[in-house]
Chain A
Amino acid sequence: MSAAAGAIGARRRRVEDERLLRGQARHVGDLTRPRMLEAVFVRSPHPAARLAPGAIDARRALALPGVAAVLTAADLPHAPLLDSVRIDGLRKTPQPALAAERVRFAGEPVAIVLAERRAQAEDAAAAVAVAWEPAPFALTPEQAAAPGAPLVHDEIAGNLLYAERKRYGDPDGAFAAADLVIEQPLTGNRQSAAPLEGRGCLAEPAAGGDGLTVWASTMGPHLLRRRLAQSTGIPEQRLRVIAPDVGGSFGLKIPAAPEEIAVALAARAVGRPVRWVEGRREQLVAAPHAKDQRIALALALSRAGELLAVRATLVGNAGAYSFNSASALIEPYLGAGLLPGPYAVAHVEAEIRSLLTNTSPISPYRGVGWTQPHTARELALDRAARALGIAPAELRRRNLVTRFPHRSATGMVYDSGSYVASLESAVELVAGAAEAAPSEPDVRVGVGVTTYVEPAGWGSDGALQSEWSFASHDAVRLQVDPTGGVLAAVGTPSQGQGHATTLAQVVAEELGVRVEDVAIVAQDTDATPVSTAGTRASRVATVTGGALALAARRLRERLLAVAAALLDEPAPLTLADGIVRGGARELTVRELAEAAHFDPALRARLAEPDLVVTQFHDPAAAYSNGAIAAVVEVDLGTGGVTVRRLAVVEDCGTMLNPTIVEGQAAGAVAQGFGGALLEDVAYGPDGLPRGDSLGGYLLPRIADVPEMAFAHHVSPSPLTVNGVKGMGESGAIAAPAAIACAVADALAPERFVVERLPLTPARVLAGAGLLEEGR
């Protein structure tokens, strides 16, 4: 390792923040192009409806001021979006950019309205008359599976996208031999990633050609380019996708949005730039949702508290399409693979089903399919602990993996970790917090602690261990420019993760230059090598970061070769802080770069003083771990739950920047907090989401999110470059379990079994037997 010691692992301030906090960020909504039109979609107000030919009448809309066009599917021929995931038995449903004969969920777009101004487009969209013929619909997997249920897609019998039973070991034998079986149902909530910035894009046709430039609020510019090429027929090399500043995504902006395709098609059709900026109601109703699993889980244990087997039926509510880029299976299928969690359990059985319903499709969201099965398993473990008379933390300790590498029953190879130590740290951090007397006599205190493992930094190997087909390698380009500055081009832009800081730290450390001399460019498909997957799945630190580290090592050798040629110095050369030293002589990287680019004398000695390196990388699988402990107050007078203390213990191996690790963990925990107590899209019987504004969809605000105490363990992965693991999901997997376990603990005298999330006041009071109904 170079002598620019401390770049990796330093608590550096994020270089992004000054600009972001001063409001100088430039999002899609800040961009304009000459002659740009604003787009607004006409969306279905029904969960299911048919449209006869000519059902969309735009005459009144077209007469309104500023309106340039109203385009429907018939005006914009294209190839529909299709999931590219390859899993045997998964049935797929192509999804059009604009629906034609029928709509399958409330919010599905059927027309795009283009006008000079946004307000004009909104008014015109409201003036488009659509002769909807409402049709029967199914909102839940239960409804969708019922005999005679309306088919969401005629060709998918029983609305069943996927059904599979997976057995590992001998679960039947283990359950038969168990002293204790705990059955735990859990109906998980449907959540919205609800990023501060909704989706949106701006498409501009190339002057005089068939190309297109698309600025999009996306996590994966190359992924979107691929989808645009497939749908529009424009070859990829003529498509340029640029992700400007993106205000959060959390998985939502991995898939290509049908709206993005429609905007690109519309821009081409009218020959003008077209911009779409999603509104909040639009985002909550029409954008993909997340989570929403029905789980029936059972644990088999011995009297001594040994976890013998886990069995679960995981039913995903897929929404109206199998969905593109990341399949609806991202929920129950991935959840099944992580059923063992951090525990050394030998026998696992998972029955996985995914059903189409007339709801918005399911896309990835932080924690993906792992969150809700983890919550069910942890709730069941707490009930087992009570039944066995063993403290919940102790029951977990007895079953945690302690020897590495550990091959889990489902085939994941946990490379390293601090499972027991993390649990102990979390317990320590909340020690004493449960003792203080509550403010009111009818307020109870409860404690929940949970340990988790996070499949982090998926390369292709990690994807395989999750039995998921997923090309997850990256290429990066690293170059020293003539003035000695370092430019790193990567295909994984940041939506708030701070890549311009952390990736620069990696390069600085490995190359031997100052962090501030490294610039990261990540947002432009014309400027960056292909990233097959983009930013997602906690993969950037290991895949992109690993590629950059390897590239920097090679570039460093080239710089030293240039220095050796210039100095004609046989003594060993060192490179640190941008200065090469050899014997008594010094050369700056700037001088090296100047010479490499412009010094003919150097060329005489060194044939190719090339300071551009590209590097491919596809890392081995690595697994992060951690623990979360929550102490809550449950108010029996109101049903309100207040988190008194929240301990967050994270082990992601070598940390690139502990401040950013904590920021990531805090954000993930905040989202888990919302999932545990507040957030629910909640379709009503009319097939429309109740949570259609931030007044109805209770996203926690900063004042609601509890203070957190952090602790770190560092178990470097033996398999990755520098021992780095990913850590983006972390708290989003485990925080709901910690909080739900704590609430159940507070209501243990009433034998409260958490069966639904979120834990609303009505559900808490109903669970305590204090309310006749608990919806």
Chain B
Amino acid sequence: MSLPPLALARPATVAAATELLRRDGARALAGGQSLVPLLAARLTPAPTLLVDLGALPGLDAIARDDDGWLRIGALARQRAAERSPLVAAHAPLLAQALALVGHPSTRNRGTVVGSVAHADPAAELPAVAVALDGVAVVAGPGGARRETPVAALIAGPGRTTLAPGELIAELRLAPAAAGERQVWLEFAPRRFDLPLVGAAVRLAADGDARLTLAGYAEAPLDARLGPLGRPALEQADDGGGPARRSRALDRAAATAAVERLLAAHPPRDDARAPAALRRRLARTLALRALAKAAADA
């Protein structure tokens, strides 16, 4: 199908963009890799005005704050983030997940922030943003700026708490702590698809574990699982090589914690997967991600 009739604006400043977005039925367009196909398939209500953010200056940065947090601008492409040494060093979870977001052609256009704002329950990036304590820097009309945790930003499938006139100018992500391991695993029957379930694990050096699930619930399901292993030990290699970290995962404790979490939250049930499958996938992926995080790097 062709796109529905719609008006397109391409503002040159954030202030102009926020003004345009105040209009009834206006929607922001970043990379367009989710929104445009949905519009063409007429699966989402046609906006009266599509506000193309593509001309806004200075929003494509991938940088570090003074306090070490990663800053990802609204127009930073997924491919740029995937290839960024800063992301690889400080948010390996994001780097791993990005490699599975769509495919290279869509990542060349798609933006990290756009995917978070699109809030597809199955998508990788909203869950990763929640797992990394993501904070959305929101620009509003009249130069207003506020910061809101991504966990609070996502209101449900395809819904955010952004008010009319607001856009996410930047996403801030907490850097990995010293000795922390991050693992992203996901499952879909077909490559390049949104996962049925994705699992983000952060395993701290002291054995404290955190699990964030994509695809399982209506929004990323984020939980601290508590201490699941012994603290990391420094071990010298036999050959005198660099020190390696090793930590033992308490499998029984991990299984119990994951099952407790899943029992408390019923999974989604839809045409893509019955609830029982999502539950099993979540359990499997969580435990495998925990085991992988605990294994030697």
- Whether A640 lies near B276 (C-beta < 8 A) is no
What chain B residues lie within 8 Å of A773 (beta carbons)? 274, 276
B57 interface contact, C-beta 8 A:
no
A635 to B280, CA, bound (A): 12
Is A22 close to B, CB under 8 A?
no
Please, how many angstroms separate the alpha-carbon atoms of A677 and B189 in the complex?
8
- Residues of A near B193 (CB, < 8 A) are 695, 698
Q: B5 to A638, Cβ gap below 8 A?
A: no
Chain B residues with Cβ below 8 Å from A281 are 1, 41
Q: Using Cβ atoms and an 8 Å threshold, which residues of chain B touch A762?
A: 273-274, 276-277
Interface presence of A703 (CB below 8 A):
yes
A704 at interface, CB cutoff 8 A: yes
Surface stretch bound by B, among A177-185, A371-379, A764-772: A764-772
Knowing that A704-B191, A760-B189, A762-B274 are A-B contacts, what are 17 other residue pairs whose CB atoms are under 8 Å apart, sorted by A's residue number?
A122-B1, A122-B2, A123-B4, A126-B42, A281-B1, A637-B280, A637-B281, A637-B288, A638-B281, A678-B190, A695-B193, A696-B272, A703-B103, A703-B191, A762-B273, A771-B274, A771-B276
Q: Which residue of B lies closest to A677 (CB)?
A: B189
Chain A residues 691 to 749 lying within 8 A of chain B, measured CB to CB, are 693, 695-696, 698, 700-701, 703-704
Report if A590 contacts B (CB, 8 A). Answer: no
A630 CB to nearest B CB, Å:
17
Name A696's contact: one of B5, B103, B271 (CB within 8 Å): B271
> Shortest Cβ distance from A113 into chain B, in angstroms?
13
For the complex formed, measure the closest distance between the CB of A318 and the CB atoms of chain B, giving whole angstroms.
25
User: Is A527 located at the chain interface by the 8 A CB criterion?
Assistant: no
Task: Give me 22 A-to-B residue pairs in the complex whose CB atoms sit less than 8 angstroms apart, sorted by A's number.
Answer: A119-B3, A122-B1, A635-B284, A637-B281, A637-B285, A637-B288, A640-B187, A640-B189, A677-B189, A678-B189, A678-B190, A693-B41, A698-B189, A698-B193, A703-B103, A703-B191, A703-B192, A704-B190, A760-B189, A765-B280, A770-B280, A773-B276
With a cutoff of 8 Å between Cβ atoms, the chain B residues found around residue A233 in the complex are none
- Name the residue on B nearest A439 (C-beta): B288
Q: Could you say which of A638, A678, A693, A703 contacts B187, with CB atoms under 8 Å apart?
A: A638
Question: Within the assembled complex, what's the spacing in Å between the Cα atoms of A391 and B288?
Answer: 35
Which of A637, A690, A698 touches B190 (beta carbons < 8 Å)?
A: A698
Q: Tell whether, in the assembled complex, residue A701 and residue B5 are in contact, meaning their CB atoms are under 8 Å apart.
A: no
Which of B190, B277, B283, B285 is A639 in contact with, Cβ under 8 Å?
B277
We find that the number of chain B residues with CB closer than 8 angstroms to chain A is 27
A279 to chain B, nearest CB (A): 6
B280 touches A638 (CB 8 A): yes
Instruction: Give the Cβ gap from B13 to chain A, nearest Cβ, in Å.
Output: 31
In this assembly, does A147 line the interface, its C-beta being within 8 Å of a C-beta of chain B?
no
A703 CA to B193 CA, complexed, in Å: 11
B106 to chain A, nearest CB (A): 13
A440 touches B271 (CB 8 A): no
A693 to B271, CA, bound (A): 13
Measured between beta carbons, the chain A residues less than 8 angstroms from B271 are: 684, 690, 696
Give the chain B neighbours of A123 by CB distance below 8 A: 4-5
A425–chain B nearest beta-carbon distance, Å: 30
Closest Cβ of chain A to B76, distance in Å, is 25
Given contacts A119-B2, A123-B5, A762-B274, contact A700 B280 (CB under 8 A): no
Q: For the complex, is A761 an interface residue (Cβ under 8 Å from B)? A: yes
Interface membership of A775, Cβ < 8 A: yes
- Nearest Cβ in chain B — how far from A127, in angstroms? 12
Cβ proximity bits A633-656 to B, threshold 8 Å, 1 near / 0 not: 001011110000000000000000
B43 to chain A: closest residue by CB? A693
A695 to B281, CA, bound (A): 20
Minimal beta-carbon separation of B221 from chain A (angstroms): 18
- A118 adjacent to chain B (CB < 8 Å): yes
Residues of chain B within 8 A (CB-CB) of A770 are 280
Q: Within 8 Å CB of B281, what residues of A?
A: 637-638, 761
Interfacial chain B residues near A677, Cβ < 8 Å: 189
* Residues of A contacting B192 in the complex (Cβ-Cβ under 8 angstroms): 701, 703
- Chain B residues with CB under 8 Å of A771's CB are 274, 276-277, 280
Shortest Cβ distance from B255 into chain A, in angstroms? Answer: 12
Across the interface, name the chain A residue whose C-beta is closest to B188. Answer: A640
Complex interface: chain B residues within 8 A of A639 (CB) = 277, 280
Q: Which residues of A contact B1 (CB under 8 A)?
A: 122, 279, 281
Tell me, in angstroms, the Cα distance from A281 to B41 when the chains sit together.
Answer: 8
Q: Could you tell me the distance between the alpha carbons of A639 and B189 in the complex, rounded to whole angstroms?
A: 9
On A, residues with C-beta under 8 Å from B are 118-119, 122-123, 126, 279, 281, 440, 442, 635, 637-640, 677-678, 684, 690, 693, 695-696, 698, 700-701, 703-704, 760-762, 765, 770-773, 775
Contact with A along B36-68 (1 / 0, CB 8 A): 000001100000000000000000000000000
With both chains docked as a complex, state the minimum distance between the C-beta of B66 and any C-beta of chain A, in angstroms. Answer: 41
Q: Mark B257-279, 1 if CB is under 8 A from A, else 0.
A: 00000000000000111101100
| Least distance between B195 CB and chain A CB atoms (Å) | 11
User: Are the CB atoms of B2 and A118 closer together than 8 Å?
Assistant: yes
Tell me the bound Cα distance from A279 to B285 in angstroms: 37
Contact of A637 among B5, B273, B284 (CB under 8 A): B284
One digit per residue, 1 when the CB lies within 8 angstroms of any chain A CB and 0 when it does not, for chain B 1-45 equals: 111110000000000000000000000000000000000011000
A761 touches B284 (CB 8 A): no
Residues of A within 8 A of B274 (CB): 762, 771, 773, 775
B166 to chain A, nearest CB (A): 29
Given contacts A123-B5, A281-B41, A637-B284, contact A761 B190 (CB under 8 A): no
Bound complex: CA of A122 vs CA of B46, how far in Å? 14
**Cα(A698)–Cα(B190), bound, Å:** 7
Chain A residues in 8 Å Cβ range of B3:
119
A203 to B284, CA, bound (A): 56
Q: Which residues of B contact A119 (CB under 8 A)?
A: 2-3, 5
A673 to B90 Cα, complex, angstroms: 40
The smallest beta-carbon distance between A763 and chain B, in angstroms, is 10
Q: How many angstroms from the CA of A765 to the CA of B42 in the assembled complex?
A: 35
What are the nearest 9 A-B pairs in CB distance? A637-B284, A119-B2, A703-B191, A762-B277, A638-B187, A771-B276, A690-B271, A698-B190, A704-B191
Taken together as a complex, chains A and B put the C-alpha atoms of A118 and B3 apart, in Å, by 11
The distance from the CB of B262 to the nearest CB of chain A, in whole angstroms, is 14
Chain B residues with Cβ below 8 Å from A122 are 1-2
- The docked-state distance in angstroms from the alpha carbon of A700 to that of B191 is 8
Least CB distance from A467 to B in Å reads: 39
Q: Complex formed: what's the CA distance from A773 to B269 in Å?
A: 12
Bound-state CA distance A164–B282 (Å) is: 49
Do B189 and A440 have beta carbons less than 8 Å apart? no
Q: Which residues of A contact B189 (CB under 8 A)?
A: 640, 677-678, 698, 760-761
- CB closest chain-A residue, reference B5: A123
Chain A CB within 10 Å, residue with most, of B4, B41, B271, B280: B280
**Bound complex: CA A684 to CA B192 (Å):** 25
Shortest beta-carbon distance from B290 to chain A in Å = 13
CB–CB A761/B277 < 8 A? yes
The reply to whether B191 and A701 form a contact with Cβ atoms under 8 Å apart is yes
Neighbouring A residues of B103 by C-beta, 8 Å: 703
A124 shortest CB reach to chain B, Å: 12
Chain A, residue nearest B4 (CB): A123
Which residues from B are CB-within-8-Å of A760?
Answer: 189
| Distance A743 CA – B32 CA, assembled complex (angstroms) | 39
Q: In this complex, what residue of B is CB-closest to A440?
A: B288
Among A122, A639, A693: residue with most chain B CB under 10 A = A639
Name the B residues within 8 Å of A678 (CB-CB).
189-190
| CB contact list, B206-265 vs A, under 8 A | none
> Nearest Cβ in chain A — how far from B185, in angstroms?
10
Question: Which B residues lie within 8 Å of A761 (CB)?
Answer: 187, 189, 196, 273, 277, 281
Q: Which chain A residues lie closer than 8 Å to B187 at the CB level?
A: 638, 640, 761
Picked from B2, B190, B276, B284, the residue with its CB within 8 Å of the CB of A638 is B284
A118 partner residues in chain B, CB cutoff 8 A:
2
How far apart are the CA atoms of A773 and B271 in the complex, in Å? 14
Closest to B185 in A: A638
How far is it, in angstroms, between the C-alpha of A771 and the C-alpha of B274 when the chains are bound?
10
Q: Which of B3, B41, B42 has the most CB of A within 10 A?
A: B41
